[in-house]
Amino acid sequence: MQGLGLTSATMLVMGSMIGSGIFIVSAEIGREVDSPALLIGAWAVAGFMTIVAALSYGELAAMMPRAGGQYVYLREALGPLWGFLYGWTLFLVIQTGTIAAVGVAFGKFLGIFVPSISSTHWLLHLWKVPPIHVGPMVLGNMDVGINTQNLVAILLVIFLSVVNIFGVKTGAAIQNIFTAAKVSALLGLAVFGFALGRNPQAVAANFGNFWHNAGLGAQHAVQVGVGGPIVMVGTLTILAVAQVGSLFSADAWNNVTFTAGEVKNPSRNLPLSLALGTGVVIALYIACNFIYLSALPLDGVEGGVTILARGIKHAAEDRVGTAVMTQMFGAAGGLLMAAAIMISGFGCANGLILSGARVYYAMAKDGLFFRNVAKLHPKYKTPAVSLMVQMVWACLLCVSGSYGQLLDYIIFAVLVFYILTIVGLFVLRRTRPDAVRPYKAVGYPILPIIYIVMALFIDVVLLRYKPQFTWPGLIVVLLGIPVYYAWSRSAGAKRAA
């Protein structure tokens, strides 16, 4: 059923991208780069890479408008193993881990209105996993069980998964309403910030010294691994390290390609929705960071008594968006921002749930996932079993308390698959030169090559300086190789029988 028009497809791109990251990760980026110019630079790099990747994906999406999106592109360009490894990592970590984290963030901000909703209010505490040191990584160190905060996350995931069974149009309607609300909230933050939020102290500190520490020859401190030595690195390297936060906040734009089989006139609407959605969101993200810099000084004191004293780097619990709104409008501003982040999280979770299920459905049709996952609902023609399997695993991640660690680990793996998919663009140009391409990647081959070089540089830097975030993601991907051969052998045996 083709129920998604251009508006719904664009809203799915924007809705899947905008979660809670834009309101939080600028604090961590600020601590890493220690420069107003590089804070904006980190978001600009993430924005450039996201838009270039989206323009490249547009060609693949228009050429192969089938359910499964990136899984299909990797399978067709590089072979079924690479498609499977992407789907395997997406199911275990990328999609379900993000759904769990967005759900818990929803519960966290609901706790501002209902104080009894908290990560410390346990209903069933099963186990405290001790920290496990593996080289530079610290695994474990989490509480397993149900508290009021992750219970809210579980109920949200169940509710949205069930709603999405009732047809893609129902899921799309929710997506459109909540995406419109959160884009309006971001736009409101930008407009009100420019009009009312300028703080003379912050403007003087940040824009009077905008290029501080931003020269190519500047040196920046980075801690290698957990508790490792502090080393000095150059500006390009620190920008690569900072991409963990900004690229993650701009991720999930590719989710619209998972639903390609349900998009009307996909050859036109998929590339357009990718370009429009990523362009608008990146413009809003960069505008919001200028607002942060005009409302709060970048530097601050960790134990500062006032919001201004803490600055962007040390905003309470890294909630920069809430700090800026509270600074502008008092306590009411903070509550408004909390409500906006909840709306944002709700819409984001819906987009991720709607689209992720289409990938496992495509894998099951290829005999590379549980066979029942390929079944559609008899009435609504939605991948109901796939939605339920995804729901169960995401809920287990909520209970495990490990989704936060999973998210730290995924940006490396995500970039690896983006690189492979854009390499696939070059492969298909060579192996299928006569295939119908209703849209061709803008800037090919220069822009895709620049993306591959930048993404490889970021991955190498993360492997070197943030091993605790990268090796686990790589291990998850590699574990999929024996699983693929076992599954494909089993599927082959069933077909032979």
Residues 156-172: tens digit of each pLDDT: 999 999 999 998 888 88
> What pLDDT, on a 0 to 100 scale, did the predictor assign at position 170?
87
Per-residue pLDDT band at 137 (split at 50, 70, 90)? low
**pLDDT, greater one: 262 or 85:** 85
Instruction: Flag whether pLDDT at 1 surpasses 60.
Output: no
The answer, yes or no, to whether residue 367 has pLDDT greater than 60, is: yes
pLDDT above 80 for 394: yes
Question: Helix crossing, 148-163 with 95-113: angle to 10°?
Answer: 120
Q: Which tens digit of pLDDT belongs to each residue from 255-299? A: 888 888 888 998 889 999 999 999 999 999 999 999 999 999 999
Q: Is the pLDDT of residue 139 over 70?
A: no
Of 95-104, 154-163, 215-224, give the range with the top mean pLDDT.
Answer: 154-163
pLDDT at 57: 93
Cβ(373)–Cβ(379) below 8 Å: no
Question: In the prediction, which pLDDT does 224 show?
Answer: 83
Compute how many other C-beta atoms are within 10 angstroms of the C-beta atom of residue 39. Answer: 28
pLDDT at 472 over 90: no
DSSP run (H or E) holding 123: strand 122-134
Q: pLDDT confidence of 138, banded at 50, 70, 90? A: low
Tokens, residue 480:
């999929």
* DSSP of 420-471: HHHHHHHHHHHH-TTS--SS--TTTTHHHHHHHHHHHHHHHHHHHH-HHHHH
Our separate counts of H helices and E strands in the chain read 19, 4
- Cα–Cα nearest to 33, from 211, 280, 160, 158: 211
Residue-averaged pLDDT of the chain: 90
Mean of the pLDDT values across residues 178-207?
90
Q: Categorize the per-residue pLDDT at 51 as very low, low, confident or very high, splitting at 50, 70 and 90.
A: very high
| 401-456 confidence digits (pLDDT tens) | 766 666 677 788 899 999 999 999 999 999 999 999 999 999 999 999 999 999 99
Predicted pLDDT at 133: 76
Q: What is the pLDDT of residue 364?
A: 94
Cβ 461 vs Cβ 231: under 8 Å? no
Q: What pLDDT is stored for residue 124 in this prediction?
A: 92
Integer CA distances (angstroms), 102 to 151, 167, 333, 348, 496, in order: 13, 23, 22, 7, 43
* pTM score, whole prediction: 0.89
**How far apart, in whole angstroms, are the C-alpha atoms of residue 126 and residue 74?**
40
